[in-house]
Structure 1
């Protein structure tokens, strides 16, 4: 595998940028931008696979499973980024979506390049973070732009042996990551502007796919009403303002009333049900619980809302 590394799609030279070091600055940047513009189309080609992944992940998370991302270098950092943004955006438990990177948290800032070469460390990191403790319901997304990172492959093989769903996200069709997955997502972004610099087009594609996976999951779980993040945690001034505006938008109440409902109800969904039905916090919480936490279902019998 190592001997053929130079033949990988992500490692081949891009003929369009062969003389990039001789170009005027603006022309150089336009070239980079033009190459970046091709990424969305490559991701669009994989949407059927992404849709299958979202449905499969949601089914397992509803039953108590968790979503894990694992990768090295840029791939690992993007997975950790996506996972870390789920709790503040959707108020989900911190262990529902987890991101693991070869070399651990220090590698988020300082690359530990050798860490990606160990299959065993991939397995160890999964085990140390509780993967597989949810009766086979956990899901692993192995992320590797090149499709051949040993750290990721070791983790994927362990997850499959544990009877868990394994999704492979890479940018090289036919790669080892694609073959090791139950479900493969492979946006073929092609040669990079700077040869082998997969933090560029491949990294952009990875970020787009991860956005779809986590956002799609949260929509399926009922954490969104329309396009409003009704599960947002109002933990800072910006998010308090957003929470108030969401309550105002859905119910039509004033800013002052929305603020009071949030203080009384403790969160956006409870505040909205209280405004819609005129009941207490306890009543609103019971109605949401009966609707499995899905606000749209809880509001179905509540007249006078804008939802």
Structure 2
């Protein structure tokens, strides 16, 4: 057996051992079913994903608490993955600035092969742990940062390499995979393994595994931002009004939070340069714009704490 043949045999053996790669004989004739029957089958498969995520909630919560502790000290949240996993990380990171008014550098998505890999496969990129290390070094990684390696298989060299390199740099690390006993979870401070089982199409981890990863990433970013004071109750008070839809949402959020009439909402937003959190504080705390800005700065952006400082009854 040649070296190349041996390598291929070893790789096949590794894939055969992964739950996400398992072949399902009962679905071997799925292409013979009607479109509606296939849709029902697929929908039934997808319905099992939330329960699989639910089994990992304690580990997800522990990871979030660790992320918040680092970000409170000025750290960043960095996602690193290849293929679908990398695209999901980039997607989650890119949605944080408009949703939570984070700086673009505060939540970062790295994908093996760089931005062009978002739309085109980059040969060999996912196989390079060294590439992950270079990508992280380019960010100037510190011990205040958190790196989340994302890989359905839990063995992708780019994701595992990112976690290993980040841990050596003193950063907090999270390994998100969809197979139990993964190398990625073993390499990380926090291992999250959402075992969703074999896919409808053998090895197509953009399906249940991708859905599971998206759900977990939603939790990591959203709950972290809640803990950082980016919301007031379930209102996105740090939303960035960068277009007309978001400007309308800003006005609605201020109205929902304060109960103020439209004219007062508009005046408060005008007095605070469109900053929703500040506008709410001027209305509920009966303070001017500069005072609202100072109270929020003193409260590290937490609106409830700023309201308490302004002596608003029931603000705690």
TM-score class normalised by the smaller sequence: over 0.9
State the match for 1:182 in structure 2: 189
State the match for 2:154 in structure 1: 147
Q: What secondary structure does 1:168 align onto? A: strand
Given candidates 87, 101, 108, the residue that maps to 1:77 is 87
Q: Which moved more, 1:274-283 or 1:54-63?
A: 274-283
State the match for 1:263 in structure 2: 270
Given candidates 52, 75, 96, the residue that maps to 1:65 is 75
Note if contact 1:252-1:306 (Cα within 8 Å) is conserved in structure 2.
no
State the match for 1:131 in structure 2: 141
State the match for 2:203 in structure 1: 196
State the match for 1:100 in structure 2: 110
Aligned counterparts of 1:23 and 1:168: Cα–Cα separation in 2: 37
**How far has the Cα of 1:155 moved from its partner?**
1.4
Note if contact 1:17-1:31 (Cα within 8 Å) is conserved in structure 2.
no
User: Does 1:273 find its partner at 2:288?
Assistant: no
Greater relative contact order (Cα < 8 A, sep 6+):
1
Q: Name structure 1 gaps, 5 residues minimum.
A: none
State the match for 1:289 in structure 2: 297
Give per-residue Cα distances to partners, 1:172-206, cap 9 Å, x unaligned.
10011111111100000110000000000000000
Aligned counterparts of 2:138 and 2:312: Cα–Cα separation in 1: 49
Note if contact 2:304-2:315 (Cα within 8 Å) is conserved in structure 1.
no
User: Does 1:229 find its partner at 2:231?
Assistant: no
**How far has the Cα of 1:278 moved from its partner?**
2.5
Aligned counterparts of 1:111 and 1:173: Cα–Cα separation in 2: 27
Aligned counterparts of 2:49 and 2:162: Cα–Cα separation in 1: 27
User: Does 1:35 find its partner at 2:45?
Assistant: yes
Q: Which moved more, 1:224-233 or 1:256-265?
A: 256-265
User: Does 1:247 find its partner at 2:238?
Assistant: no
Superposed CA RMSD in Å reads 1.5
4+ aligned runs moved over 3 Å, structure 1: 301-307
**How far has the Cα of 1:302 moved from its partner?**
4.4
